Structure 1
């Protein structure tokens, strides 16, 4: 029995006895299965194992913050739930704020009676643009920011304590969609995040949003750049018959009118033969070029299936390096 099966069997036994199993972080849970990220293959494997032992995680491991805790419960019966088929994603694929690191880090804050100098010192030393004003994690009085400080100074209003320079806080739930929070973050430069227990569990700033969108968008953009580069290399080099021959088996109904109609795997099939490769007139090693393309194809599949934890750094480096390689070929007029 594998390590993951042993752990799941022990959890099932605990639940049968009415004992609550120990909670695990999503990260440590993934390690049971020899994984570090929640790619679609990993998620499919884990869901299969959980179903085998009649278990589920709460909250769902796929949509939780990777360093957040999950518990284990009996899986709902098929009659009581609208469970998806084994191997598919869960029923709710919404990209929630709960996945963001910044939504899971309680923010530095000040109390209403703190002096303005205390708030300014915290903001300067930590490079913050705003600070929540709270008495407890559940009692938010407002937010003080460079904007509120500056506007009151300009109006020459006497302000000794933070309470004199704060404005109402803008709150969102950790269960909200990231996209539904964009408007508020854009308008106010931040939102405070309330956890499931209504306590403040994080702050998301416009800077956090920019970083997250870069992380999400960069792999898609680089893959698109690589595909365009490959199409440019192949364009006009092959006959219609050769393009048709590169088509995948069992796909006779699809018409191939040009390189753009081929899939990424078919690009590789097209240039695998030495005879066709010579038509490209590239002074690079064919075997190495095709090998790299195959690696790109595998990473591309992960990108298109969307991994909430992003790609492995080595995979991102592979994409960047190959995109740069294609650019160098264009720069020297090789294609």
Structure 2
């Protein structure tokens, strides 16, 4: 356990307010960079042991969002944790982790978890010349600019479309207020998939945070980049699996493929009829046996291949827990390299 959690718990029970940290920093306390299932569960266990939780929940917000710490039984200091006598250390909260270690949690991936939704916004006042706003858009490579007052109220949106429409219609628009159009926004707690509809229809959405402020703008380009980052591992894993299947599919009979299954699981053994029915782990068990490996007739080191395939299997398990945090850059590079290797192998085999 990271000792900082215990120190934070003591500060809270003493009526002090520990400083906020970012989710990324918080994960670093546990030598983690991403919110993988087991990492999250271990962190929740440690927080529960000390009777502490984060606000907002560290799993549901943008990875660089700030979080604060409170006692689990409320946002205030609980009297039950006060020392009975001066100098006496406050007792720890009872360990209440359920035997199965599962805790119900938010299942929707919210738009507020996207980086673009949290990176602030460049806006223009309504009484500025359109030429000034257009200059900002050109310099920054923006397609639109929110029109906002000094106190953060959104009045509309200036875009190339709104400016161009007025030019075509010969309508004078010297000031930003003359060329703006209605804006579109979503709350930060809206599902990413619900926000997609608004983004596709309008090319962007402004994101309004829980505190009522506009925290960012998510454009169609942001969405494309986000889903590229999320889908590339899926596509690479699909290609790797098909390449592995092609490598062994016509080499082994159905009965031989069944030997890769757990013999104690009769239903699993009965289910397997072709190589497409095997799991990644079963590919490895099949190919780890020297007699099976020799039937592939390839001059590749068996142990190195199986170790690499097992590394892909572990990455696959994380990728299947779809998460906007994505996977580690090193893991993505591993998938790319193994895909290239399998392509070369397939090409050489003809």
Q: TM-score scaled by structure 1?
A: 0.93
CA contact (8 A) 2:112 2:207 kept: no
> Given the superposition, is the C-alpha separation of residues 196 and 279 from structure 1 closer, same or farther in structure 2, using an over 3 Å criterion?
same
Distance 2:106 2:163 in 1: 42
Question: How far apart are 1:85 and its partner, in Å?
Answer: 7.0
The reply to whether residue 291 of structure 1 matches residue 311 of structure 2 is: no
Residue 48 of structure 2: SS of its match in structure 1?
Answer: helix
- Identify which of 16, 19, 29 aligns with 2:16: 19
Distance 2:179 2:262 in 1: 66
- Of 291-300 and 87-96, more deviation after overlay is shown by 87-96
> Given the superposition, is the C-alpha separation of residues 92 and 107 from structure 1 closer, same or farther in structure 2, using an over 3 Å criterion?
same
Residue 305 of structure 1: SS of its match in structure 2?
Answer: coil
Question: How far apart are 1:90 and its partner, in Å?
Answer: 4.4
Distance 1:42 1:271 in 2: 31
CA contact (8 A) 1:193 1:203 kept: yes
Within 5 Å, give how 1:176-255 maps onto structure 2: 176-254=190-268, 255=270
Residue 204 of structure 1: SS of its match in structure 2?
Answer: strand
In the other structure, the counterpart of 2:131 is: 117
Residue 206 of structure 2: SS of its match in structure 1?
Answer: strand
> Given the superposition, is the C-alpha separation of residues 84 and 138 from structure 1 closer, same or farther in structure 2, using an over 3 Å criterion?
farther
Distance 1:16 1:265 in 2: 48
CA contact (8 A) 2:114 2:324 kept: no
Q: Give me the CA root mean square deviation.
A: 1.7
Distance 1:87 1:230 in 2: 35
Distance 1:331 1:127 in 2: 43
Distance 2:274 2:131 in 1: 67
In the other structure, the counterpart of 1:35 is: 32
Distance 1:21 1:124 in 2: 43
In the other structure, the counterpart of 2:318 is: 302
Distance 1:221 1:159 in 2: 48
Q: How many residues align structurally?
A: 326
In the other structure, the counterpart of 1:164 is: 178
Question: How far apart are 1:145 and its partner, in Å?
Answer: 0.4
- Identify which of 6, 11, 19 aligns with 1:9: 6
Question: How far apart are 1:243 and its partner, in Å?
Answer: 1.2
Question: How far apart are 1:330 and its partner, in Å?
Answer: 2.5
Question: How far apart are 1:178 and its partner, in Å?
Answer: 0.8
Residue 133 of structure 1: SS of its match in structure 2?
Answer: strand
> Which ranges in structure 2 are unaligned for 5 or more consecutive residues?
75-96
> Given the superposition, is the C-alpha separation of residues 84 and 157 from structure 1 closer, same or farther in structure 2, using an over 3 Å criterion?
farther
> Which ranges in structure 1 are unaligned for 5 or more consecutive residues?
78-82
In the other structure, the counterpart of 2:283 is: 267
> Given the superposition, is the C-alpha separation of residues 89 and 264 from structure 1 closer, same or farther in structure 2, using an over 3 Å criterion?
farther
- Of 106-115 and 15-24, more deviation after overlay is shown by 15-24
Question: How far apart are 1:249 and its partner, in Å?
Answer: 4.7
> Once the two structures are superposed, what CA deviation does each residue of 1:150-203 show, in whole Å capped at 9, x if it has no partner?
000000001111111100110111111111111110010001111111111100
> Once the two structures are superposed, what CA deviation does each residue of 1:266-287 show, in whole Å capped at 9, x if it has no partner?
0011011111111112232222
In the other structure, the counterpart of 1:330 is: 346
- Of 266-275 and 299-308, more deviation after overlay is shown by 299-308
Residue 253 of structure 1: SS of its match in structure 2?
Answer: helix
Question: How far apart are 1:134 and its partner, in Å?
Answer: 0.4
> Once the two structures are superposed, what CA deviation does each residue of 1:4-26 show, in whole Å capped at 9, x if it has no partner?
1x211111112212222211110
Residue 67 of structure 2: SS of its match in structure 1?
Answer: strand
